[in-house]
Amino acid sequence: MPTLPDFRLETHFARWEFTARYHLTASDAQTLTMSELLALADDDGRERWESLALGYTETRGLPTLREAIAATYDELEADDILCFAGAEEGIYLAMRTLLEPSDHLVVLTPNYQAAETVPLSVAAVTGVALRPEDGWALDVDAVEAALKPNTRMVSVNFPNNPTGAVPTPEAWQRLVELCAERGILLFSDEVYRGLELTRESLPQATDVAGTALSLNVMSKAYGLPGLRIGWIACRDRAVLDRLERAKHYTTICNSAPSEVLALIALRARDQILERNRGIVATNLPLFTEFFDRYPDLFEFTAPDGGCVTYPRYLGTDGVETMCTELVEQTGVLLLPASIYRSDLTATPTDRFRVGLGRHNPAPALAAWSAWLDAR
């Protein structure tokens, strides 16, 4: 296997995530404490937790957990779900298992880096850019133009990280149908589904097309990244069989405590997602007021969904300098555009990611504002 490049986001976070005073670029919603999560447990969930034996678990995931995951889809059963140790393992194994060197993949940019670099280690990859001047809209014509006779997969992520974009239902349906008609696997990263703000949730890809793969995780919309529970949903069970065999070489199985805690959370999903949407809705006016205070420095648009967005920095010093000096001098952590650069397409160089899903961003915004005013 070719050596993968440094994961820019994780390298940056390794330096700053747990040392910066203010984490203002978090990609997840505000988490719950153990006591808060266990307070949401039904009788069965609490009994499972209190009687849990710490042995190996099934490679595909706890059957009851997979039933709970399947219930979040319209057309699926437990056997259509394969659990992983977070979304990253799902991305890695799907790209490494389902692609061959003779294949071609189309991926949207900007993106979560693994969506680009992992398939590039296997096959030929073409990028299709979401463009800020188009409101980061999904351009299905551009995707279609990028297809080749050997295109095996199209990889997308909505609500998008880092832009917060959500396509129109019409564009989404057209993309799903395009892939189905061409016999192309649609790999749909849906980890922010449930945090839509201005639009309804899109139909999940695997509900619409039997060969599509829907990726999800407890980390983002649910705000429970410490569980390290993700999954791929697909009605083509032969695909899941291949992925299960690949998982035998990585994590083998998931953490038993995490599976039970994820089950408890999924049974309380409506309550948790409503809470997390409320946090984003409460925070948005604070961010809007902040950016409106500096019209010569920032362009800010609220995301369509998810809890991250990608404002523009207009300062003459450039976004990389601004982000570096801000974290070094005030402890306010942002992610500059270089984290999201692509080898496949041009990507904006004047953007930065902010997170909208954590409680009480006011102290971080105040520190940032004081720093700007003092410059």
Name the pLDDT band for 351 (thresholds 50, 70, 90). Answer: very high
Q: Looking up tokens 């190996």, which residue turns up? A: 56
Q: For residue 87, is it within any domain?
A: yes
What are 27's two structure tokens? 């990609």
352-355 and 308-309 beta bridge pairing: antiparallel
Asked if 127 contacts 116 with a C-beta cutoff of 8 angstroms, the reply is yes
What is the average pLDDT across 60-84? 97
Q: What's the total number of domains in the chain?
A: 2
Q: Are residues 97 and 115 both part of a single domain?
A: yes
106 and 189 belong to one structural domain: yes
Domain end residue (candidates: 242, 268, 294): 268
Chain segment 197-229, per-residue pLDDT in tens? 888 899 999 999 999 999 999 999 999 999 999
Instruction: Give CA–CA dist 109/113, Å, rounded.
Output: 9
CATH number at residue 306: 3.90.1150.10
Is 39 part of any domain?
no
- Pairing between β-strand 332-333 and β-strand 22-23 as defined by DSSP bridges: parallel
- Name residue, tokens 């994961």: 7
**Range of the structural domain that residue 299 is part of:** 8-33+270-368
Domain end point (choices 248, 268, 288): 268
> 285 and 168: one domain?
no
Output the average pLDDT for the chain.
97
**pLDDT over threshold 60, residue 1:** no
- Cα–Cα nearest to 201, from 302, 72, 93: 72
8 A C-beta contact, residue 222 and residue 193:
no
Residue 263, domain member (yes or no): yes
Cis peptide before 225 (omega within 30 of 0): no
Same domain as 177, residue 310: no
Quick: pLDDT tens for 254-301. 999 999 999 999 999 999 999 999 999 999 999 999 999 999 999 999
**Residue for token digits 């609490």?**
46
pLDDT average, residue stretch 153-167 = 97
**Which CATH number belongs to the domain containing residue 141 in this structure?**
3.40.640.10
Classify residue 199: in a domain, yes or no: yes
Tell me the C-alpha distance between 170 and 28, whole Å.
28
Among candidate residues 245, 268, 291, the one where a domain is terminated: 268
Q: What is the pTM of this model?
A: 0.97
Please check whether residue 41 lies inside any domain of the structure: no
Q: Exposed, middle or buried, 89 (CB in 10 Å: 0-12/13-18/19+)?
A: buried
